[in-house]
C-alpha cells in the first residue's frame, strides 16, 4: 500500500511541477510580449500625440501663423531647410520601433534654438525622450551648418573683399572697411567638471562668440573661444582671425581696415576710436563715423539674441554642443537675412538711420531681447605702432574733408 501511495504522490507532484512550469512559462512570454508592446504602444502614442497635444506643430497647413510663431520660421523656409539636411539626419526604422522622422528632429531643434526650452520640456511637448533629443540635436545642428555653409563663409579673394568694402562705403560711408569686429559672452550652466578654462563673466561661466560682420549685419566669421585663463582683450589675440590677418592668408586688399571698439588693439588692419579725454573736432568726427558703421555688429548680436532665445538663458550643454548651437544660429541668421530679409528682420528690427538727418533710431531688438554681455574693455593703454596711428589720422582727416557727410557736425554736437 505504501508503495502505491508513494507512486500516486510522485505522479501528483510531477503534474503539479509541470503545471507550475507551464504557468511560469506563459507569464514570462506575456511579460516579454508586454515589453515589446510597450515599445510599440509608446511609438504609437508618440505618433498619436503629435496630432493632438502638439497640434500647433502640425498646423503648417491649418494655422500657418501659429506654426511659424513656435518655430520662428516660415513653412516654406522650414521645408527648404528640411530638404537640404534630410539626407544627413535620416535614420532607418527598426523592428522594435519607428525612427524619429527628419521633420520631427528639425522641429525640435528649431524650437530649442527659438526658446531655449529644456530637453525635459521638449520631451513632453513632442513625445520624444529627452535622451533621444540630446542625441539628435547636435546631429541636426551640424547638418544645418554644413547644409547652409555657403551662407556663412569668410571671403577668400580680393574681389570678394572688395564687395564687402563697397557695401560699407555705400551704406555707412566708411571706405575700405572689410567688416566690424566684436565679441559677446554666451552664458553656460556650470559644467560637471568645473572646467577652469571657461570664462567667468560676473560670476557666471561662459564662452565668447567672436565675430566679424558685414555692412548688412550678416556674419562673415564666427569663432567660439573658451580660453578663460585670459581676459577679454586676449580673445582676439588667440583667435584664428588674428593669425590669418597677420599671415595675410585671407587675401585682404592692401588698403583694408576692420573696425572695432576699444576692447581691440589699434593696428594697421584694425581701426578703433580715439580714447583720450580731450578730443579735437576731427577726432570726434572719426569716432562718430566709426561708431556709426560699427553699429552693424551690435545689430547682428542683438537680432541673433532676439530671434534665438536659447542665448537668453544659461545653456545646459557641453562646450562642443554649445559651439554647434552658436554656429548653427549664426548660419540660420545669415540664411534668413539673405532669402527673407523682410520676414526675418522685419521693419525696424535693426537700428535704422534717418537718411536726411543721420539720426539713429533704435531697433526693436533692443526692446525685446536681453542683450548678450559684451567683452570687457581694459583701462590699460595698449601700445600701437606709428604706422597704425598714421593710418587712423589719415582716415580721420578724410572724414573731416572730402569724405564728410552732411549731418556729421550736428551728430557730434548732440
Task: Name the residue with cell 500516486.
Answer: 8
Please tell me the predicted confidence (pLDDT) of residue 39: 42
Look at residues 191, 64, 87 and name the one whose alpha carbon lies nearest to residue 140. Answer: 87
Task: Name the residue with cell 534630410.
Answer: 86
* CA–CA gap between residue 68 and residue 75 (Å, rounded): 7
Taking CA atoms, 57 is separated from 76, 109, 328, in Å, by 14, 13, 21
Q: Read off the pLDDT of residues 324-366 as tens digits, 9 standing for 90 and up.
A: 999 999 999 999 999 998 888 776 777 777 766 777 777 778 7
Q: Which of 45-49, 58-62, 156-160, 359-363 has the highest mean pLDDT?
A: 156-160
Task: Name the residue with cell 590669418.
Answer: 244
- pTM, 2 dp: 0.84
Backbone angles phi, psi at 168, to 5 degrees: -65, -40
**Three cell numbers at 15?**
503534474
Yes or no: say if 260 and 268 are a contact pair by the CB < 8 Å rule.
Answer: no
* CA–CA gap between residue 162 and residue 332 (Å, rounded): 24
Taking CA atoms, 133 is separated from 1, 109, 140, 214, in Å, by 73, 8, 10, 34
Q: Read off the pLDDT of residues 203-250 as tens digits, 9 standing for 90 and up.
A: 778 889 999 999 999 999 999 987 654 566 778 988 999 999 999 999
Reduce the DSSP state of residue 231 to 3 states and report it.
Answer: coil
Q: Read off the pLDDT of residues 294-326 as tens digits, 9 standing for 90 and up.
A: 999 999 999 999 999 999 999 999 999 999 999
Poorest-pLDDT segment among 38-47, 122-131, 191-200, 372-381: 38-47
Mean pLDDT for the stretch of residues 194-206 = 68
Yes or no: say if 210 and 225 are a contact pair by the CB < 8 Å rule.
Answer: yes
Classify residue 25 as exposed, middle or buried by CB count within 10 Å of its CB (0-12, 13-18, 19+): exposed
Biggest CA–CA distance in the chain, Å, is 131
**Three cell numbers at 176?**
575700405
Poorest-pLDDT segment among 94-98, 122-126, 179-183, 407-411: 94-98
Yes or no: say if 337 and 346 are a contact pair by the CB < 8 Å rule.
Answer: no
Amino acid at each position: 500500500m505504501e508503495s502505491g501511495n508513494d507512486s500516486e504522490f510522485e505522479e501528483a507532484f510531477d503534474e503539479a511541477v509541470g503545471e507550475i512550469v507551464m504557468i511560469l512559462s506563459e507569464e514570462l512570454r506575456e511579460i516579454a510580449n508586454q515589453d515589446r508592446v510597450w515599445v510599440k504602444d509608446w511609438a504609437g502614442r508618440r505618433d498619436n500625440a503629435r496630432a493632438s497635444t502638439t497640434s500647433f506643430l502640425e498646423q503648417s497647413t491649418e494655422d500657418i501663423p501659429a506654426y511659424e510663431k513656435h518655430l520662428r520660421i516660415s513653412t516654406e523656409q522650414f521645408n527648404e531647410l528640411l530638404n537640404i539636411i534630410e539626407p544627413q539626419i535620416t535614420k532607418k526604422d527598426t523592428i522594435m520601433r519607428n525612427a524619429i522622422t527628419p521633420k520631427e528632429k528639425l522641429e525640435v531643434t528649431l524650437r530649442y534654438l527659438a526658446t531655449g526650452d529644456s530637453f525635459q520640456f521638449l520631451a513632453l511637448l513632442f513625445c520624444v525622450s529627452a535622451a533621444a533629443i540630446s542625441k539628435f540635436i547636435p546631429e541636426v545642428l551640424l547638418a544645418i551648418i554644413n547644409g547652409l555653409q555657403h551662407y556663412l563663409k569668410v571671403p577668400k579673394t580680393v574681389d570678394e573683399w572688395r564687395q564687402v568694402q563697397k557695401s560699407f562705403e555705400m551704406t555707412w560711408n566708411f571706405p575700405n572697411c572689410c567688416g566690424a569686429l566684436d565679441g559677446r559672452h554666451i552664458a553656460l550652466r556650470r559644467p560637471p567638471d568645473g572646467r577652469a578654462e571657461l570664462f567667468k563673466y560676473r560670476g557666471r561661466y561662459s564662452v565668447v562668440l567672436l565675430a566679424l560682420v558685414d555692412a548688412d549685419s550678416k556674419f562673415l566669421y564666427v569663432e567660439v573661444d573658451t580660453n578663460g585663463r585670459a581676459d577679454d582683450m586676449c580673445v582676439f589675440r588667440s583667435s584664428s582671425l588674428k593669425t590669418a590677418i597677420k599671415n595675410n592668408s585671407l587675401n585682404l586688399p592692401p588698403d583694408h581696415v576692420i573696425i572695432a571698439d576699444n576692447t581691440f588693439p589699434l593696428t594697421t588692419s584694425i581701426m578703433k576710436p580715439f580714447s583720450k579725454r580731450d578730443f579735437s573736432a576731427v577726432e570726434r568726427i572719426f569716432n562718430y563715423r566709426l561708431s556709426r558703421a560699427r553699429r552693424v555688429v551690435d545689430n547682428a548680436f542683438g537680432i541673433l539674441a532676439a530671434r534665438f532665445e536659447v542665448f537668453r538663458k544659461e545653456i545646459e550643454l557641453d562646450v562642443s554642443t554649445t559651439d554647434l548651437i552658436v554656429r548653427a544660429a549664426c548660419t540660420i541668421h545669415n540664411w534668413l537675412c539673405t532669402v527673407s530679409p523682410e520676414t526675418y528682420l522685419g521693419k525696424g528690427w535693426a537700428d535704422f538711420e534717418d537718411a536726411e538727418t543721420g539720426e539713429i533710431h533704435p531697433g526693436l531688438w533692443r526692446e525685446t531681447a536681453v542683450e548678450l554681455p559684451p567683452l570687457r574693455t581694459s583701462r590699460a593703454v595698449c601700445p600701437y605702432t606709428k604706422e597704425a596711428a598714421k593710418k587712423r589720422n589719415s582716415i580721420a582727416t578724410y572724414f573731416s574733408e572730402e569724405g564728410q557727410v552732411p549731418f556729421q557736425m550736428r551728430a557730434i554736437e548732440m
